[in-house]
Every structure is written in structure tokens, then in C-alpha cells.
Amino acid sequence: MGDFKISELDALAATPDDADILAIVDDVVGTPITKKITVANLKSSVTVPVKATGTEINTGTDDAKFVTSKAIEDSNLSFISDTETLTNKRITQRLVTTTDDATAAIDCNSYDIYELSAVADATVFTVTGTPTNGQKLIIRFKDAGTTKGLTWTGFTAIGIILPTTTVVSKWHYVGAIYQSIGTTWQVVAYSVEA
């Protein structure tokens, strides 16, 4: 394979040879400097980080092996399926805000905090989605200056009494934890602004 423009290659159908090169011209003032990257060099030098097990990523044949493993200490990475302790990390809560919603259907797949301000209608709180056992949910709300009725569907009060009306112009907080055995959101905390 000789020197061709990429646009002149026959649909890039030619199999690259180890001796083939990719020329790079450094356009400096004076004499341009040409540098070369060979196909063989690409095959031997490309690495990606993988978990430090020594496992090599291979597509099946030596010629097709373009990626080799590189050991990295586990302490520098986090892995999706491993049990790990994270230090000095912050998890930003998923928050949704709305001004008024008479049928407040909270999507627990997407949100951890549901904020409802300026409640102008009686409101029914429900939760949609597929919660996990022990999942937390915070609901905070405030009326628009007039007491409004509240209904809690799919919630069970544990050691507290759920509010049935708002306190005029005050923020309310309700904290719930999902319990999969009873398939309910157990409300373990309720407070209202003084």
C-alpha cells in the first residue's frame, strides 16, 4: 500500500500491513519535519486501564490484538459491581421542583428530593417508579398562603403523624425510607418550619 489520500482509498478495504505508515507533518517555520507512525507501532503501544488482575484484552489473534492491559492500583479506581468504600466523595441529590401539583406523583427512579412550593390545591402525594429496599426520599412543600389538604398514598407513618393540612406559608419536610417487605414508603421524620 503506497501513499494515498484517505479519500482515494477504495472504501478503506485494503488490510494494513505492519510496515504501512501514517505520516504526520509538523508545519514549522523553515523546513517541515515529517514524523511517522507505523501500524506495527500502533499494535504494540495502545493500552487502556483495566482492573489490576493481569487480564489481557484480546480479540482472538495476534494481528487483531490492538489493546493490551495496563495494571492500575484498585485504590485509584471505582468499579460498578465491587463492594467499595468511597472517601471524600459527594453524591449530589437528584432534585425536582414544581410550584403546584394536585397529583404529586414522585418518580423515585429519577429523584431523591421532591420540592413543591406555592401549593394552591389540595395535594395527593404518591410515588412512581421501582424503588429499592432502603431507598430514601425527602419531600418538602409550602402552600401559597392558604391552608391546603394533604393525602399520602403508599406511605406509612412510623412513630410520627403525617400532616393532613399545611401550616400557612411554612416549609414542611417529610422523610421516608422504602421498605420492600411491606412495599411502602415508611415515613420516619416530619417537621415544619417554626
The domain limits of the chain are 6-76, 95-192
pLDDT band at 39 (very low <50, low <70, confident <90, very high): low
DSSP for 157-172 reads ESSS---SBPPTT--E
| pLDDT at residue number 37 | 75
pTM for this one? 0.61
> What mean pLDDT comes out for the span 98-123?
95
Asked whether the beta carbons of 50 and 70 are under 8 A apart, the reply is yes
Residue type at 95?
L
> What mean pLDDT comes out for the span 66-93?
72
Q: Which of 151, 164, 154 is nearest to 192 (CA)?
A: 164
CA–CA dist 166, 170 (Å, integer): 8
| pLDDT at residue number 79 | 76
Asked whether the beta carbons of 143 and 168 are under 8 A apart, the reply is yes
Which conformational region is residue 27 in: left (phi greater than 0), alpha (psi within -120 to 50 degrees), or beta? beta
CA–CA dist 91, 115 (Å, integer): 18
Rounded mean pLDDT of the chain? Answer: 81
pLDDT tens-digit series, residues 143-152 = 999 999 999 9
pLDDT band at 21 (very low <50, low <70, confident <90, very high): confident
Own/partner long-range contacts of 158-163 (Cβ < 8 Å, ≥24 apart): 158/186, 158/187, 158/188, 159/188, 160/187, 160/188, 160/189, 160/190, 161/190, 162/187, 162/190, 163/190, 163/192
> What mean pLDDT comes out for the span 169-191?
97
